[in-house]
Amino acid sequence: MDVGITGGFYQTDIDFILARGCPLIVIYSQNLELTLASVVEAGGAITADIFSFPGGRRFHFTEPCGNEYAVWSE
């Protein structure tokens, strides 16, 4: 299905983090606490513990290569 969005992945030596002005990729989870535990178990580092924001709760983390992501839930 073509929805008019293009994108992809590529390897680089530059970390993809908010401090460098990169967009934040946010992933949805039905169980935020379980997902946080899974991220840590897989080698991720929590950069912002679970917090509330308009629309739900979320946390931020970097994966082992240093790229930053967030996970949110209602």
Q: Is residue 6 part of a domain?
A: no
Q: Is residue 4 part of a domain?
A: no
Q: Is residue 46 part of a domain?
A: yes
* Total-model pTM: 0.78
Q: What is the pLDDT of residues 16-66, one digit of tens each?
A: 788 888 889 999 999 999 999 999 999 999 999 999 999 999 999 999 888
Q: Is residue 12 part of a domain?
A: no
Q: Is residue 11 part of a domain?
A: no
Domain count, the chain: 1
Q: Tell me which residue range forms the domain holding 25.
A: 18-73
Secondary structure, 3-state, the chain: CCCCCCCCCCCCCCCCCHHHCCCCEEEECCCHHHHHHHHHHCCCEEEEEEEEECCEEEEEEECCCCCEEEEEEC
Q: What is the pLDDT of residues 1-30, one digit of tens each?
A: 566 666 666 677 777 788 888 889 999 999
What is the CATH number for 57?
Answer: 3.10.180.10
